[in-house]
Amino acid sequence: MKDLSARRLLLVHAHPDDESINNGATMALYAATGAQVTLVTCTLGEEGEVIPPGLAHLAPDREDRLGPHRRAELAAAMKELGVADHRLLGGAGRFRDSGMMGVEQNRRERAFWRTPVDEAAGYLVEIIRSVRPQVLVTYDPDGGYGHPDHIQTHRVAVRAADLAAERAYRRDLGDPHTIDKIYWNRVPRPVAEERFAALRGVPLPGPAGALGVGAIDDVPGVVDDARITTEIDGSAHAARKAAAMRAHATQITVDGDRFVLSNLLLQPLFTTEYYELAQGVSGAPAGERERDLFAGLAGAGSSPDGGPADGRTAPGTPGASGAVGAAV
Ligand SMILES: CC(=O)N[C@H]1[C@@H](O[C@@H]2[C@H](O)[C@H](O)[C@@H](O)[C@H](O)[C@H]2O)O[C@H](CO)[C@@H](O)[C@@H]1O
Ligand SMILES: [Zn+2]
């Protein structure tokens, strides 16, 4: 019997709800198959809007108690996904939600967006050196859709992965650890286009109270098909993902295979979740997508593809021969 607990997956996100929207099915799948899944959330989402009228009093411009409430929503969502290890970067409230790009909250003292990257990265290095994951999942450099906290999360996660591997860096934070594979959350454009086309036939407002259908570019990380290196079929865990998203009730209303955020614009709920291998070696045969984030990793207890990686290296991999891009 393989020791599947040897697989350790670390996900780094900006706000409570991002993990369930982007990776809920993936997290449920790996938790259910014995991997150690660790979520790090960088802020408590204090600057969010509030969908249920009965909770509007929590808003930042009223009682400013949305942060603690969303922390509880996050805990409930993790129970739905079967994820036991979820941590707040630097401890609860260390870094505050910065608001959307350009708002005054971006410049507030504890805003995550204005935090020096190395200061935040130090907290994540300690977690990386303790958990020692083979795989890290976070956003692309644009944070998926340009939100300052998402962009900062990418920067902090990538910087922390580099620092955690440096033998000369802060040995008080643990022994050096090199993460084998770093993935960015992605959605293939053809899949997004197909799902949005179907949404345009949905009667409004519907159970989610939708005012309309969102735009494809509202979906974080939409890219051309060629950049997708990995797809995780989490359809067996669709109910868990939907329940986790429902747990984030101040931010999300779910209606079957679609949902709205506080802008009340419909977008598709994905149960196959897609990734781009940004750093590391693909475990799939040339020209094929990985079906497992741990594909090709010897000793990770799981590699449905069986064979070792075929040496196709992702962009940005230290020491990469330059074999990059679609070749991955
Ligand atoms: C999914 C995500 O990252 N949500 C963020 C985002 O929330 C959006 C924001 O309030 C926007 O004004 C709304 O139109 C949109 O519907 C929301 O999803 O930004 C919030 C503030 O930084 C953040 O708390 C929330 O988690
Ligand atoms: Zn977010």
Does 18 carry a binding-site annotation?
yes
Q: What average pLDDT does range 128-138 have in this prediction?
A: 98
Q: What average pLDDT does range 80-93 have in this prediction?
A: 98
Pairing of strands 181-188, 272-279: antiparallel
DSSP states of 159-227: HHHHHHH-TTS-GGG-S----SEEEEEEEEHHHHHHHHHHHTTS-SSTTTT-SEE--GGGSTTEE-GGG
Per-residue model confidence (pLDDT) at position 3: 62
pLDDT tens-digit profile of 87-128? Answer: 999 999 999 999 999 999 999 999 999 999 999 999 999 999
What's the pLDDT band for 308 if we cut at 50, 70, 90? very low
Per-residue model confidence (pLDDT) at position 307: 32
Residue 265 has pLDDT above 80, yes or no: yes
Q: Is 143 in the pocket of ligand 1 (CB under 6 A)?
A: no
Q: What average pLDDT does range 231-259 have in this prediction?
A: 98
Domains of the chain, start order: 8-187+221-237+272-279 (3.40.50.10320)
Instruction: Kindly state the percentage of the chain with pLDDT values over 70.
Output: 90
Atom 14 (ligand 1) nearest CA: 263
Q: Does this complex have an ipTM over 0.90?
A: yes
Per-residue model confidence (pLDDT) at position 1: 55
Pocket test for ligand 1, best of 50, 96, 100 (most atoms within 8 A of CB): 100
Per-residue model confidence (pLDDT) at position 44: 98
Per-residue model confidence (pLDDT) at position 312: 62
Q: Is 96 in the pocket of ligand 1 (CB under 6 A)?
A: no
Per-residue model confidence (pLDDT) at position 270: 98
Q: What average pLDDT does range 175-189 have in this prediction?
A: 98
- Find the 306 Cα to ligand 2 centroid distance in Å: 35
Q: What pTM, to 2 d.p., does this model score? A: 0.93
Torsion sign, CA atoms 111, 116, 118, 122: negative
Distance between CA 112 and CA 120 in Å, rounded? 8
Angle at which helix 238-247 crosses helix 18-32, to 10 degrees, equals: 140
Residue 248 has pLDDT above 60, yes or no: yes
Per-residue model confidence (pLDDT) at position 304: 37
Per-residue model confidence (pLDDT) at position 314: 76
pLDDT tens-digit profile of 282-303? Answer: 999 999 999 999 999 986 654 4
pLDDT tens-digit profile of 2-19? Answer: 565 699 999 999 999 999
Q: What average pLDDT does range 39-56 have in this prediction?
A: 98
